[in-house]
Structure 1
């Protein structure tokens, strides 16, 4: 048996006819940028999250950068970011002229915490970017308290956590603002790129709406120096359609993850927390035998991935002097196993059998 790490065609097949109708309607209407479909998606997504404002944009990286710009963060400022995450979280800080300050992760989690952040706060700290990595919500209360104590903005990166909750609230509605990505592999994915900013801050919402569309208040009325970061009508219409399936698909991810978890609970490896409110964007295990296990699985037709093999503070472009042992260890030991809507139980069982076989011998 061969098992792909990800097969997006299976998920699309479930709604193929609806996708074709949606695409055809957009072509017939002849309105491809902005318009009613973008507005409808923004209203639908903010309604799903129970947030006051959704501002769509071109991608998740732009969403983060627009938030920083909207809060006036720039040269001379510092922004605390996790080192164990995708590079965008540091990239956007540099893009606005500020300096990323890298935080380690706790031993028991892949998400930064109030404890790993607290000692990094200085008079220059203007924001904290928290990442709900792998679909696992960060423990937000201590971070929110730090933000209030020091007057620091808390920005949620929800690119891997569409539909996850923390203490009864959807992630993305807990901090001062949040960024979502709709890259095709996400739990809520477009057929191309897309992103959104979520906030209950009316001033920030107004500012980022200007910035993402060339600083225009109205056509040719430029009141700010902006950029071009717009969600197109086709992607918006596709996302509106897919949003109605998001909870169903997240439940399917949880069900498949439970098969893995039930079969691995006695193995010598770190398993993802199975909290009811996480959404399993990825199913990630951690073992010191990661490289050997990955090779073994590949030899048996099982594709895997590593998210992420190098913490940002060790990437050549960002290399700094900090030593972040937990991030460095995780980067050397994590392995992502296949998990996605449309995956068959037999495929999960096949992977599980081979993981157990390898771990029983270590070779």
Structure 2
């Protein structure tokens, strides 16, 4: 039996009748972008995140860029963030002309170590960009306290944490703006690329709406230089159908994670942890193993797909060499990148599939231990 990292087809088949009907309605109307479905999804998702405003965009990367631009962050400014993330977080900072400044991560959660924020603060610091990575919420209160004390903006990258909470409140509702990727493999995913920003600030919401639509509120009247980053009606139709299932799907992910942890915590070097103040929605199920490359090859031979999120820390990527970081400067991030591996995780994962994954992990980890 093959066990994929993510089984998108299994989810699609259950929703296919609803989705095909929605597609037909959109195509019959020929209202293809910024129409009623986009507006409905913006309202529904903002309410889900306990926010007043949602701004649908074309990708998670665009969501980050629009958020930074709306906060008037640009050339000469610095944004404190983490290197343990997908490169889109840093691309967005670079795209507005600002400079990313990295802090290291907590070795157990892989999330921003807020205790290092003061160490990297400079007169050029304009914002903090915490990343709710893998599905677990960042410890937000210290981040917010630090930002308020220094007059900084807070922009949450919640691209992997749809529905996760911090102290009982959903991520996406803490910062000045929060950004979500709705990439097709996420907990809530479109059929391709999509994203959304959430905020409680009406002026920031309005500015993002203008930027995403060529800088205009009224067609052909351009108040600022914008971009084309609009969410289209077809993707919004999919997202509206999926939204009511999100909590159910997250609960299934959490149940799978609990089973994995019960069966693997004494086998692998580390399983995911959940802090008492937060919840984890397991966009990815990330463990640590020795001899990772050999481990992945062995599982692939048994039909089990794995991945590494992410093998090269952003501060060591060739594209980021201009920022002057070198190996050894973020030791916790660098060590994690050498050991982490993601196991299959999706709501439709069956008990049989999970047991196959566990058996393969046990066999290959224990075989590796015996050889050492």
TM-score by length of 2: 0.95
Q: Are 1:301 and 2:303 matched, yes or no?
A: yes
Partner of 1:150: 150
Per-residue CA deviation, residues 136-195 of structure 1 (Å, 9 max, x unaligned), is 111111111100111111111011000111101100001111001111001000012111
1:177/1:197 contact within 8 Å kept: yes
Aligned pairs for 1:316-335 (under 5 A) are 316-319=318-321, 320-322=324-326, 323-335=329-341
SS for the counterpart of 1:101 is strand
What's the offset of the Cα at 1:224?
1.2
What's the offset of the Cα at 1:360?
2.2
Q: Distance in 2 between the 1:321 and 1:235 partners?
A: 39
Q: Are 1:248 and 2:252 matched, yes or no?
A: no
Partner of 1:173: 173
SS for the counterpart of 1:102 is strand
1:105/1:116 contact within 8 Å kept: no
Q: Distance in 2 between the 1:108 and 1:344 partners?
A: 27
1:259/1:349 contact within 8 Å kept: no
Per-residue CA deviation, residues 27-84 of structure 1 (Å, 9 max, x unaligned), is 1111111111111111111111110110111111011011111111111100112101
Q: Distance in 2 between the 1:109 and 1:165 partners?
A: 14
1:179/1:196 contact within 8 Å kept: yes
SS for the counterpart of 2:26 is helix
Q: Distance in 2 between the 1:48 and 1:37 partners?
A: 16
RMSD after superposition: 1.2
Aligned match for 1:337, one of 343, 359, 362: 343
Q: Distance in 1 between the 2:367 and 2:30 partners?
A: 60
Q: Distance in 2 between the 1:262 and 1:349 partners?
A: 12
What's the offset of the Cα at 1:292?
2.2
Q: Are 1:102 and 2:111 matched, yes or no?
A: no
1:106/1:116 contact within 8 Å kept: no
SS for the counterpart of 1:313 is helix
Q: Are 1:270 and 2:270 matched, yes or no?
A: yes
1:38/1:56 contact within 8 Å kept: yes
What's the offset of the Cα at 1:108?
2.3
Q: Distance in 2 between the 1:31 and 1:64 partners?
A: 26
What's the offset of the Cα at 1:359?
2.2
Q: Distance in 2 between the 1:268 and 1:70 partners?
A: 44
SS for the counterpart of 1:126 is strand
Q: How many residues align?
A: 363
Aligned pairs for 1:217-296 (under 5 A) are 217-274=217-274, 277-296=279-298
SS for the counterpart of 1:317 is helix
1:184/1:190 contact within 8 Å kept: yes
Partner of 1:311: 313
1:190/1:238 contact within 8 Å kept: yes
Per-residue CA deviation, residues 282-327 of structure 1 (Å, 9 max, x unaligned), is 0000123322211221121111100000000100110233411111
Partner of 2:89: 89
SS for the counterpart of 1:310 is coil
Which structure 1 residue ranges, 5 or more long, are not aligned? none
2:83/2:102 contact within 8 Å kept: yes
Q: Distance in 2 between the 1:155 and 1:71 partners?
A: 9
1:211/1:224 contact within 8 Å kept: yes
Partner of 2:359: 353
Q: Are 1:47 and 2:50 matched, yes or no?
A: no
Q: Distance in 2 between the 1:110 and 1:235 partners?
A: 31
Q: Distance in 1 between the 2:262 and 2:347 partners?
A: 19
2:107/2:336 contact within 8 Å kept: no
TM-score by length of 1: 0.97
SS for the counterpart of 2:122 is coil
Q: Distance in 2 between the 1:7 and 1:57 partners?
A: 25
What's the offset of the Cα at 1:274?
4.0
SS for the counterpart of 1:15 is helix
